Structure 1
């Protein structure tokens, strides 16, 4: 099957690239923000969590807006007001709480970008194409993780971090304008789809998937966007340049993993099999970080790269769940599942802050981070075991 992105999906992919960038860029700003604003790793954990909280809280309103306003207006308006406005607020930040506010706004602004693309694909393409197309979009959009690593360090060194944020605000507004101009809404012959969260919750098969949805993306998102930098700095003494290179490895791995989503499903012969295999790799990588947190810098970067590679698990499990959603529940369904996923990331990031503070008071740096990685590993194992009970979904 030939998978091609049209102009509208490309514009939405650019928006998702910004979304990936904004959820990850704090990692390389950590030292700068600590020096200039006094922001500790715990403060940045809260700021990063605010991004995910704002993103998650907007998912149900986004589901309604996709059905009634269409993906074009929904994505463009949110990205311009929340994304562009939040980036400007970040550039003006003078206190730590300003970072929390800015990140919350940016999270709200990024909320519809990927879901708008999912909505169009679900309505206009065969079900069998869903995993390949969404994996392609997530893979290309994951370039934001790359841009938020070493390239951002270079930009900040060249023009300063505030000037970099003003530039990002302008780029965000330009992408929002492009979406307004080229995205085309699906046509609904019978009017706007009608559905509710209660109908979604009535699909019992999703209950076997929801625990994994809540924890699957948390490890790669939280570690890449928040904990990779302090881990490498505290345990191995890495500087900003080394951190930028290490997070670049994670970003590249995320891109590769998502672009290979379609072939990976074919290799595993089913979506369910691909989800199981992907999470087995994620569990193995986190277990390595738990058992050998201070062994060597090279091993740490390799294991972090494997965690990044398994970021494709999100696209795979979403594609599997999409197979159980009837047409009239597609908009509300994918945004509800995304809310569970992103909300799980936010909750686990909030919880990781006091956990790390407590562990740091008890253990040396390697042991403290081993406890942190165990915090992400344990629920992932439980969610994967429950997911094993879920059946395959038939393709169109």
Structure 2
């Protein structure tokens, strides 16, 4: 870290009334940051995304082994999101108090124990509890990585490095598709979960041994007061009203029902479904990079991220309308477009980071994660309940009408946010050539 960057960071932290993390820690070379900070925490985020997505590939195996209904399968898979959401606030507070290296060790051990329990589960209830424990255990992987990187990397390089972190998560999600299907040709799903538990334990030890210590940051504002201020802030409310529900839909459908739709409605084999999900995860990586580039390009021309978000949400709803219409020649294209366009929902974090005061951005991100994953739980479980309204065929496949009803309901939930943004935009158009900031968003 250069001296100029260090002094700038010290000044920023002094203005917030908290000690700068870098002030108590020596600078690290780029190589050491890569080896001791980026790699171990990126591995944790990789595994968390793999565990999030793996049930989409295992759905046929789990259904056959336990005779699960769609409602049970949706609840089982979505338990990850519910527990993940519950972890957000306590983990966020713990990260500020003890630092990511100390927090990740017990959290990943919990995730490993949950994974072992899933491997040994013999009925729906046991698997449900185990899946929830996994979700809670990996609930801090992304936040811990962001916090560690923001401590040891200069502000100028942080956006690109965070992009690499998101790409690592995309690789984890991709690994849960075709590679898992290939692995299942040699081992059963229980043995696979034992191997994943070992990987989680290894990562926990790796982070604890390699990650440099980080000074604790004391938040002087009570958590409840901070959350109230965040929820009242115009930028947070704008992001939540427009993008929050689409983000819930993206996570909830991508993590399970997209694969089932490809098998039940499009008629693809399990291997073909795994391949298309794998391609879709590649689209997530590409989409995240492209959205970032477009947002940066638009910002230089005076266009706020919320306008990019509105265009992206509109496209995302159009793609879902394709599922409702049942355009059979384009089934594979629709599946990939869903993951490609759906990555625009990640722009929420940019909107919040640019709009809120710096002293609130960490807890605002935690608040977003809490809402997103609670919503993803509701979407994933609720979609299964919608499918339960129809009778499956002899192969356990549900009719296209069931999925069309599910996607139509999701569109109905997302459309009001986009319509509300459009109405406000029509009522108060932004001045030409200027960034239409809220008055409160310039306070950093």
Same-fold status (TM-score > 0.5): yes
**Cα distance, 1:34 vs structure 2:** 1.6
Displacement of 1:213 in angstroms is 4.9
Post-superposition shift, 1:214? 3.4
Which range is displaced more, 159-168 or 256-265? Answer: 256-265
- Per the alignment, residue 227 of structure 1 pairs with 257
Is 26-35 or 312-321 further displaced after alignment? 312-321
The alignment covers a number of residue pairs equal to: 385
- Partner of 2:8 in structure 1? none
Please say if residues 46 and 350 of structure 1, whose CA atoms lie closer than 8 Å, have aligned partners that are also in contact.
yes
Distance of aligned partners of 1:211 and 1:182 in 2 relative to their CA distance in 1, 3 Å threshold: farther
Contact map agreement 1:16 1:114 (CA 8 A) in 2: yes
Confirm whether residue 217 of structure 1 aligns to residue 247 of structure 2. yes
Take 1:217 and 1:345, find their aligned partners in 2: how far apart are those partners? 8
Q: State whether residues 357 and 443 of structure 2, in contact with CA within 8 Å, keep that contact through their aligned partners in structure 1.
A: no
1:381 alignment partner in structure 2:
415
Kept in 1: contact 2:253–2:380 (CA 8 A): no
Contact 2:45 2:145 in 1 (8 A): no
Q: Does 1:202 align with 2:229?
A: yes
**Native 8 Å contact 2:99 2:215 kept in 1:** no
1:11 deviation in Å?
1.9
| Distance (whole Å) between structure 2 residues aligned to residue 169 and residue 29 of structure 1 | 16
TM-score of the superposition, structure 2-length normalised? 0.79
Tell whether the 8 Å contact from 1:216 to 1:313 is kept in structure 2 after alignment.
Answer: no
Given the superposition, is the C-alpha separation of residues 356 and 178 from structure 1 closer, same or farther in structure 2, using an over 3 Å criterion?
same
Cα–Cα, structure 1 residues 23 and 150, in superposed 2: closer, same or farther, change >3 Å? same
- 1:286 is matched with 320
Conserved 8 A contact 1:146-1:247: yes
Q: Which of the pair has more CA radius of gyration?
A: 2
Any idea what SS the aligned residue of 1:111 has? coil
Mapped to 1, the partners of 2:403 and 2:142 lie a distance apart of 31
**Aligned counterparts of 1:84 and 1:32: Cα–Cα separation in 2:** 21
Tell which has more relative contact order, 1 or 2 (C-alpha 8 A, sep 6+). 1
Equivalents in 2 of 1:274, 1:52: separation in Å?
27
2:273 counterpart residue number: 243
Provide structure 2 residue ranges, at least 5 long, that are not aligned to the other structure: 1-29, 393-397, 426-435
Provide, for residues 283-337 of structure 1, a one-character-per-residue CA deviation record: whole Å limited to 9, x for no partner: 22112112225x23xx122111111113432432112102233343343221111
In structure 2, C-alpha distance between the alignment counterparts of 1:355 and 1:60, rounded to whole Å: 31
Alignment match, 2:350: 319
Mapped contact 1:214–1:345 kept (Cα < 8 A): no
Displacement of 1:64 in angstroms is 1.0
CA distance in 1, matches of 2:140, 2:95: 8
The aligned counterpart of 2:79 is 50
TM-score (norm 1): 0.88
> Structure 2 residue aligned with 1:193, among 219, 225, 232?
219
Check 1:301–1:64 CA distance in 2 against 1; reply closer, same or farther (3 A cut): same
What residue in structure 1 maps to residue 203 of structure 2?
Answer: 175
Name the CA shift for 1:103/1:170 in 2 (closer, same or farther; >3 Å).
same
Let me know the Cα RMSD of the aligned residues: 2.6
The SS at the match of 2:220 is coil
